[in-house]
């Protein structure tokens, strides 16, 4: 007599079907992930050629071929199943290949409080220039003052414009220009964004000013340009005095130097920046992320320079803005700019920074500098201290150092009396008057300054 097998309970059948479905979904997810990873690898290998279409077509083609192979012995109704992960992966990766920002450069509108001029320099750069003439109610300073903003390739913020007007009210004839590719200045071919080109542009700008030279205030990456200019005899001959404020690394060896930074900044303490972010869009999240990791070159074919500039927003800087302020100012960080005026070129900035890291030491050339210089160092600096102290150690013409208490990297920030204090320090040096603050750290103080993690 043949025994009959007992029927499985309905719940057991449901569990089996659920496990089978989960397994199929997991396999589909693995297939989608594999195709996306293959696309990203191909994107890196081709450096994003053709806006990523080459990588997309290759990855999608491979996915279709694999789906055809898997479906060859299935029933007609089931043949579509292997193609579903390919369709999903193709849709996800296609979003990386389609521009959502204009591909032609859209420059910020003109400012209502200052005329934007455009100067064609002898280097071939076309730069946006802003001129703040000295106030009529105060004595006019005979030497113009030129401001080099940070970035490296970034527009001048409204916060900086306000500080430039304050300096003009002190009697200075203030000029500022946005470096090539930044703000309202014209773009360059990507391979021309180098620290050497920035120095040549400064020399050409000073030549265009004419006269007996100029005083130059360089901030952050602008201070790097100024430091390199002091190490170049031809450019240094055009300078009367130099103010190096919160400098970045001046050359490759300095960029590789380790060490502490200043007092605690507001990074990680300030509210998260609000507003639209290009990095919430797959195309720009992938492009900027891979460029930052060094897996795509700044001149990648994935996104053009103009498109990247148009897409990048202030919120994309994330905690970088907060790192320019002291921890105690975390909940009162001022608005540095507006969305209409903000401009930052991530690719060109990476290219300039890489050219600094790749450059040999300029210490020997800097030791021959004779241009009177001053260092400004913030208490809550986000910069490695060695970046400033190496300049102090190698430039014999640095006459004073002003350690600015109570401020972060962005020393003139509109909070309290910070702008007035920064202006007083600058004015005192340019007019060869007694310093408002102690000359600290002097060269002999540097070991203790670094040891005490000031």
List pLDDT tens digits, range 14-60.
666 666 556 667 777 888 899 999 999 999 999 999 999 999 999 99
Helices assigned H by DSSP within 107-251: 158-169, 195-209, 221-230, 233-236
Q: How far apart are CA 374 and CA 79, in angstroms?
A: 74
Residue 186 lies inside a defined structural domain of this protein: yes
- Same domain (yes/no): 255, 349: yes
Per-residue confidence (pLDDT) for residue 386, from 0 to 100: 95
- Facing residues of 408 across strands? 380
Residue 134 lies inside a defined structural domain of this protein: yes
pLDDT, the chain, mean? 92
Of residues 228, 201, 191, the one with CA closest to residue 125: 201
Indicate the residue among 97, 125, 152 that finishes a domain: 97
List pLDDT tens digits, range 292-333.
999 999 999 999 999 999 999 999 998 899 999 999 999 999
Of residues 149, 150, 203, the one with CA closest to residue 174: 149
Q: Mean pLDDT lowest for which of 3-7, 111-115, 147-151? A: 3-7
Residue 3 lies inside a defined structural domain of this protein: no
Mapped onto helix, strand or coil, the DSSP state of residue 403 is strand
Residue 108 lies inside a defined structural domain of this protein: no
Residue 110 lies inside a defined structural domain of this protein: no
Percent of the chain with pLDDT over 90: 78
List pLDDT tens digits, range 228-263.
999 999 999 999 999 999 999 999 999 998 888 999
Comparing 137 with 70, which gets the higher pLDDT?
A: 137
Indicate the residue among 97, 126, 146 that finishes a domain: 97
Q: How far apart are CA 132 and CA 183, in angstroms?
A: 18
Q: Which domain holds residue 39?
A: 14-97
2 pLDDT exceeds 60?
Answer: no
List pLDDT tens digits, range 43-56.
999 999 999 999 99
The domain that contains 383 carries what CATH number? 3.40.50.1820
Per-residue confidence (pLDDT) for residue 81, from 0 to 100: 74
- Same domain (yes/no): 82, 208: no
- Same domain (yes/no): 312, 392: yes
């Amino acid at each position: 007599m043949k025994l009959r097998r007992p029927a499985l309970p309905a719940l057991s059948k449901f569990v089996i079907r659920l496990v089978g479905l989960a397994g199929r979904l997991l396999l589909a997810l693995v297939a989608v992930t594999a195709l996306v990873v293959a696309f990203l690898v191909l994107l890196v290998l081709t450096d994003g050629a053709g806006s990523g279409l080459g990588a997309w077509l290759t990855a999608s083609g491979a996915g279709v071929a694999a789906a055809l192979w898997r479906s060859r012995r299935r029933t007609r109704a089931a043949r579509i199943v292997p193609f579903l992960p390919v369709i999903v992966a193709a849709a996800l990766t296609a979003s990386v290949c389609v521009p959502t920002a204009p591909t032609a450069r859209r420059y910020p509108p003109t400012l209502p409080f200052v005329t934007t001029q455009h100067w064609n320099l002898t280097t071939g750069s076309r730069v946006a220039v802003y001129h703040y003439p000295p106030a009529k109610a105060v004595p006019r300073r005979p030497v113009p003052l030129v401001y080099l903003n940070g970035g490296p390739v970034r527009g001048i913020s409204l916060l900086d414009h306000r500080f430039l007007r304050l300096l003009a009210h002190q009697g200075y004839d203030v000029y500022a220009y946005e470096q090539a590719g930044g703000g309202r200045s014209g773009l360059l071919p990507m391979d021309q964004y180098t620290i050497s080109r920035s120095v040549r542009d400064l020399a050409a700008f000073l030549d265009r000013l004419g006269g007996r030279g100029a005083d130059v205030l360089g901030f952050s990456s602008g201070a790097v340009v100024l430091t390199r200019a002091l190490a170049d005899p031809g450019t240094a001959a055009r300078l009367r005095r130099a103010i190096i404020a919160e400098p970045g690394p001046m050359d490759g060896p300095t960029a590789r130097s380790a060490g502490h930074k200043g007092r605690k900044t507001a990074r990680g303490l300030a509210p998260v920046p609000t507003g639209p972010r290009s990095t919430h869009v797959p195309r720009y999240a992938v492009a900027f992320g891979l460029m930052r990791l060094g897996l795509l070159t700044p001149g990648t074919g994935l996104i053009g320079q103009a498109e990247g500039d148009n897409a990048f927003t202030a919120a994309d800087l994330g905690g970088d803005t907060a790192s320019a302020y002291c921890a105690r100012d975390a909940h009162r960080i001022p608005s540095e700019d507006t969305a209409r005026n903000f401009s930052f070129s991530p690719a060109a900035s990476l290219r300039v920074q890489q050219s600094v890291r790749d450059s040999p030491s300029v210490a020997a050339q800097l030791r021959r500098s004779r241009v009177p210089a001053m260092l400004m160092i913030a208490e809550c600096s986000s910069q490695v201290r060695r970046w400033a102290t190496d300049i102090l150690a190698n430039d014999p013409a640095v006459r004073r150092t002003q350690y600015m208490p109570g401020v972060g990297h962005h020393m003139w920030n509109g909070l309290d009396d910070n702008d007035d204090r920064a202006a007083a320090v600058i004015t005192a040096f340019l007019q060869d008057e007694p310093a408002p603050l102690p000359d600290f750290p002097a060269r002999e103080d540097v070991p203790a300054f670094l040891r005490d993690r000031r």
